[in-house]
Amino acid sequence: MRRVVVTGMGAITPLGNDMETTWKKLLNGESGIDLIKSFDTSRHTVKIAGEVKDFHPEEKISPKTLRRLDRCVQLCLWAAIDAVEDAGIEFENYDRNRIGTIIGIGIGGLLTWETEHTKFINQGPSRVSPFLIPMMIPDMTAGYVSIHWGLKGPNYTTTSACASGAHAIGDAFRAIKYGDADVMVAGGTEAPITGFALAGFSNMRALSRRNDEPQKASRPFDKARDGFVMAEGAGILILEELEFARRRNARIYAEICGFGATGDGYHITAPAPEGEGARRAMQRAIDEAGCNIEEIDYINAHGTSTELNDKLEAIAIKNLFGDHAKNLVINSTKSMIGHSLGAAGAIEAVVCVLSIRDGKVHPTINLEDPDPECVELDFVPDGAKELKINYVLSNSLGFGGHNVSLCFRRFE
């Protein structure tokens, strides 16, 4: 089996419009959650989200192309351009039949749908944009990335709610491992912050209503958590077959070595009892990585700040790792950037690789009174810590019972 390495990364989040700015603020324990600025929330119960700030896509994407892209694709292409530049790869110098892209997204072009539906209701069918369908359908995330560079390898979109971005990276890893591609542009994107989506998530009681303290609203594993905070953003990884990367003298961040994917078969929103689906996903990732449970140093948890998810993920970790669970370092990136749905697993994969690179783990902020089910685990509540990481798991758990765990290791 071929080995797969990470050679480039890009991210845009509520903390910054590039990977390094986001990473620096995560280590500092800063929150990107605030009152929503992009539309009027006066009639909404929830008024907070993790919005990307000062985003000027025309700096990297032509105006003609921008007019045909929903915000979710704009964020995706922005992060992908950064990732390709970071990898230092010029695709035209290689066989683009062997280079592909898989991008995860949970919802798709929701802003376009909402805007055009309003036109349809108020002005009639003739006023609906002819670009409605290609701007709205989820697959255009991968489609436009492939079009931008003329990539002709595997090309599709994964949609598995909050596990979408992690599924995309796992599938891309397998595409290279099993010989279907040499290079893959993989990750996730989402731009769900619209009035319609906010109402839907709020009415199902999934969102935090801590409007008076936006920066403290996302509090994974804390006893006072009251729901997740919706966010937007994108994360992209460049994955390459090891010998391909070596031949072009690529800088290698880390190796991706395991991918576990399972289903709960249980409930549309609630995780399976005891978090057994998450436990099996972690076990499968570890098995494929070929390491022992005791070799895992760090877990980037799904950690959404919802009652059942946090409790059951913590139980799953305890049940799988046993006594070693107390030695693990665990954190939640969502405590600072919120939950970007289909993009979350990809952004968190970027964070895991940066943690390996720098030997540092960012804190889980707002963890002031741990849930009794979550005690005895180190969620890094008191600031970033230094940690030499050999193996890390990144967990993503989605509505519908989708569970993914990705395993990365220090490259040797």
Annotation marks residue 374 as catalytic: no
- Going by C-alpha positions, the residue among 333, 338, 326 that lies closest to residue 394 is 333
Active-site annotation holder among 72, 76, 162, 352: 162
Alpha carbon of residue 108 to chain centroid? 15
Instruction: Identify whether the C-beta of residue 338 lies closer than 8 Å to the C-beta of residue 53.
Output: no
Alpha carbon of residue 164 to chain centroid? 8
Phi, psi torsion values for 389, nearest 5 degrees: -110, 125
Indicate the pairing of strand 391-398 with strand 298-300: parallel
Instruction: Supply the DSSP symbol for 338.
Output: -
Encoding tokens for residue 201?
A: 């998530």
CB atoms within 10 A of CB 187: 39
AA identity, residue 370:
P
Please tell me the distance from the alpha carbon of residue 2 to that of residue 177, in angstroms, as a whole number.
Answer: 5
- List, in order, residues 6 or more apart from 315 with CB less than 8 Å away: 274, 275, 373
- List, in order, residues 6 or more apart from 145 with CB less than 8 Å away: 76, 77, 80, 101, 103, 151, 185
Encoding tokens for residue 173?
A: 């890893």
Instruction: Identify whether the C-beta of residue 34 lies closer than 8 Å to the C-beta of residue 48.
Output: yes
- Going by C-alpha positions, the residue among 7, 1, 9 that lies closest to residue 240 is 7
Using the structure block, give the residue that is written with the tokens 């030997």: 359
- Going by C-alpha positions, the residue among 315, 302, 312, 299 that lies closest to residue 228 is 302
List the 99-104 sheet strands across, edge first: 155-158, 99-104, 183-190, 233-241, 4-12, 254-263, 402-409, 391-398, 298-300, 329-331
- Going by C-alpha positions, the residue among 285, 272, 362, 349 that lies closest to residue 313 is 272
Encoding tokens for residue 280?
A: 């099996």
Query: Catalytic amino acids?
Result: 162
